Each structure stands twice: as C-alpha cells, then as structure tokens.
Amino acid sequence: MKIKKGDQVKIVSGKDKGKTGKVIRVFPEDNKVLVEGLNLFKKHVKSRQQDKKGEIILIPKPITVSKIMMMCSSCNKPTRIGYSVSAGNKTRICKKCKQTL
C-alpha cells in the first residue's frame, strides 16, 4: 500500500469525486482507506427507548485506493506515488515534482 495514515488524498471516482480529505485509517489487506468526513453513508439507528424515534447517523465507509489519488503537499496536485531509494531507505516521492512525500 502506497497510501499511509495522515496522507491528504483526492477522490477521483464515485459520489464524492473531487473532494479531498485526510486518511485516518488504512486497511492494507482490503486495499482500502478511511478518509475523514468522506464517503459517508447514512445509518439508521434504532432507539432503545420505545417512546423515542430512531435517528440517522453518518458513518464514513472505507474507500478503495483505486478511487483516490495522493495529494502532493509540494505541488498541491493529485499525483501518483513513486519511490526513491537512497542508502537503503525507500522514500515516497511525487511523480510530478519529485519531492519527498
């Protein structure tokens, strides 16, 4: 997985297309990430008390990494992630401006 927790990403497909947000959780085994405040789904919650109505809450759902792009903090554009290896260390770089991400 190239995307990490704390990354700024842009959604490029689906109902939240064009929106950006911060990755708050990654699910490498599913190739999915949870983006703060995005890809929200309504969930109806039943009230435990009989005289009260249930309520609707919004829950963020994990989104497939193929539907997002990394936002580069240097050039401020959605970009692909490349890797640069120096002295045995692998660092992520922006494929557009070559800055370390």
Determine, following the binding rule CB under 5 A, whether residue 75 of this chain makes contact with Zn ion: yes
Q: Which of 51, 55, 19 is nearest to 36 (CA)?
A: 19
- Number of shown-chain residues binding Zn ion (CB under 5 A): 6
DSSP assignment letter at 74: T
- Percent helix, strand and coil across the chain, each to the nearest 5: 5, 50, 50
Stretch in the footprint of Zn ion (CB under 5 A) among 19-27, 50-58, 71-79, 82-90? 71-79
Within residues 82-101, the interface with Zn ion by CB under 5 A covers: 94, 96-97
CA–CA distances in Å: residue 73 to residues 36, 40, 59, 70, 87: 17, 25, 27, 9, 24
Q: Residue 11 or residue 93: which is nearer to Zn ion going by CB?
A: 93
Q: Residue 92 or residue 96: which is nearer to Zn ion going by CB?
A: 96
- Residues in contact with Zn ion by CB under 5 A are 72, 74-75, 94, 96-97
